[in-house]
Amino acid sequence: MVDSARLTDIETRPAGLAVSLRAVTKVYDSGVSALGPLDLDVGQGEFVSLLGPSGCGKSTALRLIAGLSAPSSGSVGVANHTGRAGRGIGFVFQEPTLMPWTDVRENVRLPLKLAHMPAAEANARVKDALAQVGLTEFEGAYPRELSGGMKMRVSLARALVTDPDILLMDEPFAALDEITRFRLNNDLLSLWRRLRKTIIFVTHSVFESVYLSQRVIVMSARPGRIHAEFRIDPCGPRDEDFRTSAAYAGYCRTVSKALAPSYPGQPG
């Protein structure tokens, strides 16, 4: 990491921002340049998708925002609007990474246990998080007893249980069948409307990004930069009518065309 790399709370940036990246790069010890320079602002309560080919730095960007990795140069700013200790970030990974030896309730409780939260408050938070994702009846089940979609719901509940301001999601539905993926897309949108968390969602799917997001960021091949940006403004609600509408199809065609140059041999 070079001296110009900074990881800060947002203080001098414009009001209303949840995340602000400025001239961010990431070069790994192997010499691989994974990201940047990247400039990106995400507003409070906004739903943004990062879309691009494998290896373009989408997941790297999430890890930098989460503070799991440091930028090689540039600055990563994350707002703390609540004044609570910590960065107020929840992270949902592509794999649920549940502890197989304990039940759903204890898997969701884990972040609170690590934070030494009093039992009564932790119990209430776990109960609320499970209700948010529709798993109240399965709190005593073990991971081996759950479907893939239910395991991902547990992972989402574990991210929500700390009541984060920002939710980072790294291809959480990529391994699921289409029907389950559609259902979880709808449930995630419902959660976002109720809770108004800031969500940054990584995906390889044009269709998923257009359906979920207020804004789609198309990234170039490595080192990842912003190649194009689209605001998605459906005339009505995001529902099955939107998914089958001419407007949705038009957005998908436009985003796909912008994404094509990131794949070798594809026309621009």
Task: DSSP for 114-182, please give it.
Answer: HTT--HHHHHHHHHHHHHHTT-GGGTT--GGGS-HHHHHHHHHHHHHTT--SEEEEESTTTTS-HHHHH
pLDDT of residue 16: 87
Mean pLDDT of successive 10-residue stretches along the chain, which has 268 residues: 37 69 93 91 96 91 94 90 62 94 97 94 96 96 96 96 95 93 94 94 96 95 92 87 94 94 59
113 occurs within a structural domain: yes
The candidate with the shortest Cα–Cα distance to 90, out of 166, 157, 201, is 166
247 occurs within a structural domain: no
Sign of the alpha-carbon torsion through 28, 33, 36, 42: negative
pLDDT of residue 207: 95
- For the chain, the domain total comes to 1
159 occurs within a structural domain: yes
Calpha distance 63→71 (Å, rounded): 10
219 occurs within a structural domain: no
Confirm if 193 and 177 have CB atoms less than 8 A apart.
no
211 occurs within a structural domain: no
pLDDT of residue 226: 94
pTM of the model: 0.90
Confirm if 7 and 188 have CB atoms less than 8 A apart.
no
Give Cα 45 distance to the centre of its chain.
13
31 occurs within a structural domain: no
The candidate with the shortest Cα–Cα distance to 17, out of 215, 211, 198, 191, is 198
pLDDT of residue 261: 82
152 occurs within a structural domain: yes
196 occurs within a structural domain: no
Instruction: Provide the residue range defining the domain that includes 154.
Output: 92-163
Element (H, E) at 207: helix 206-212
pLDDT of residue 103: 97
The candidate with the shortest Cα–Cα distance to 152, out of 194, 191, 204, 210, is 191
pLDDT of residue 264: 59
